[in-house]
Structure 1
Amino acid sequence: MELIEDLNQIKAPFKNAVITIGNFDGVHKGHQALLNQVIEKGTRIGGTCIAMTFEPHPLRALGLSSPPLITRRDQKIELIESSGIDVLLCLPFDKAFAQISAQEFIEDILVKKIGMKTIIIGPDYTFGKNRIGNIALLKSKEKEFGYETIVPDWIKDVETGTERISSTKIRNLVMDGHVDRAKHYLGRYYQIRGKVIKGRERGGSQLGCPTANIKLHDELCPKFGVYAVTVETIHGNFNGVANIGYSPTFGDGMFTIEVHILDFKEDIYDSRIRVNMVERLRDEIKFSNIEQLSNQIKKDIQKAKEILK
């Protein structure tokens, strides 16, 4: 996949460009369906399959409140690349870009710069200064500029069968600890990423359960508690148990994400790991002593093994 981060990198329009545009936060099943339709259409017409997204999120660029991101830039790029898209335009969004009119966006950027022949977007897509551009405007310009607008139906919520899959739904599930349900919408486990750092250093010495402590890279943090997880490390992939929160038994008020990796003895300090959140096991609990906590951890590990087997 070719990654383009500045429109000036485009020296000539792409051949028969088929494009979809969006924030793609989460790159969930709804987004995946759009990307797949771009690839199917592009393949049929011998065209270039393109996705366009923006950094930072337009709301942030305009100084407005925005929710925590499900996928930060690096993971979003990886996921879009894995879909089979030919070109990803990951463009900087700022106040100047926000002033581009809807007409200019269609004519100067999509048609002349990119060479758009087909655009495939969701029914609620808006664009241009003051978000005046919409599906109706795109369709009204088709004959003038020689392109086609395709607006697929929403991909339905697997639980209700009626509501559409949305980033908001997934975000709320993760924040409520329902990571197992979020998987149905993402098409994969929700993943947190981070660098392994020094923590309390009590896991191995006091609990007999060494942990990798993560400096969280992602914005969306699952509900505090204990989770069955799988862990991707530089040494391979392993099962594990993660605790997210303040570990109230220690009473030091330190927020941590601690991951005990099963059957693992490698030194991974300063390396980055990826933790796939499989299922929430329980809330955080304040125990009277270290022995009670240690016994509970053993039970958590056993339960995680049963879930992950």
Structure 2
Amino acid sequence: MSNQHDNSPRPPVAGPDEGPRPPFPLKLDGKVIKGFGRGSSELGIPTANIPLSGLSVGGHEDVDSGVYYGWAGLSPSKATHQHPPHAQSSEYTHLSHHLQETLSGIANDHDANEKGAVYPMCMSIGWNPFYKNTVRSVEVHIMHHFETDFYGSHMNLSILGFIRPELDYVSKEKLIEDIKTDIEVSGRSLAREPYARLRRDPYLLEFEGKGELAS
């Protein structure tokens, strides 16, 4: 784990252009739970957490801490029915307008139905050294604005690439700056055709009764 923020320029995309290489894609899942509550309130970047035990799905307990990108499938809920994937909001996606349009074009309306919905995501696995957490966490930022929460919904994750290791920061502002860059890198990376087509992986919408329609 790196100990501080690096001011060198960040690469615009992560992962090879021809598509994911082993060990990716990594697949894990879990029920959306309440986290530390800092994403929305302190950072302005809401996250959906799943239990750390989700890493055991597929045998990923030893996955390196850091920031990753990929696709997230959410089981049917009030949130996914009311706001399908193509209804992007720059206030929450932190993406350029052009990139929002590109990712919106990848979305298919029929995904937001009784099967659930698929969204681009950027996620962190680790200890969040800036906050000196004592437990490891799995925090997923879904690049979409939701009007309501979806605690209790089931989330299937297909992780397609690694962006950077976990870092510590001298200030909250530097942390927010890097997270917003992570989201932009995730969006650009997923917009490439070999990664965009993996949005149609049937696994993402295979819940087998794990998620229930939120009230």
Q: TM-score range by the shorter chain?
A: 0.5 to 0.7
Q: Deviations over 1:87-117 (max 9, x none)?
A: xxxxxxxxxxxxxxxxxxxxxxxxxxxxxxx
2:145 corresponds to 1:269: no
User: Residue 162 of structure 2 aligns to which amino acid in structure 1?
Assistant: R
**CA distance in 1 between partners of 2:145 and 2:44 (Å):** 13
Q: Kindly state the Cα deviation for residue 229 of structure 1 after the two structures are TM-superposed.
A: 1.5
Q: CA deviation at 1:283?
A: 0.1
Corresponding residue for 2:123? 242
Structure 1: how far apart are the matches of 2:74 and 2:145?
10
Q: How does 1:1-309 map to 2 (within 5 A)?
A: 180-182=20-22, 189-215=25-51, 216-217=53-54, 218=57, 219-221=59-61, 222-234=63-75, 235=80, 236-265=117-146, 266-309=148-191
Letter in 1 for 2:140: V
Structure with more relative contact order (C-alpha pairs < 8 Å, separation 6 or more): 2
Indicate the RMSD between aligned Cα atoms, in angstroms: 2.2
- What one-letter code is carried by the residue in structure 2 that aligns with 1:190? L
- Is the radius of gyration larger for structure 1 or structure 2? 1
In structure 2, give the amino acid aligned to 1:191: K
- Report sequence identity in percent: 31
CA distance in 1, matches of 2:27, 2:150: 18
Report the 3-state secondary structure (helix = DSSP H, G, I; strand = E; otherwise coil) of the residue aligned with 1:260: strand
Secondary structure at the residue paired with 1:258? Answer: strand
- 2-side partners of 1:283 and 1:291: how far apart? 18
- Provide TM-score, normalisation by structure 1: 0.39
Give secondary structure in 2 for the equivalent of 1:240. Answer: strand
Long gaps (5+) in structure 1: 1-176
Structure 2: where are the runs of 5+ without partners? Answer: 1-14, 81-116, 192-215
Report deviation, 1:258: 0.1
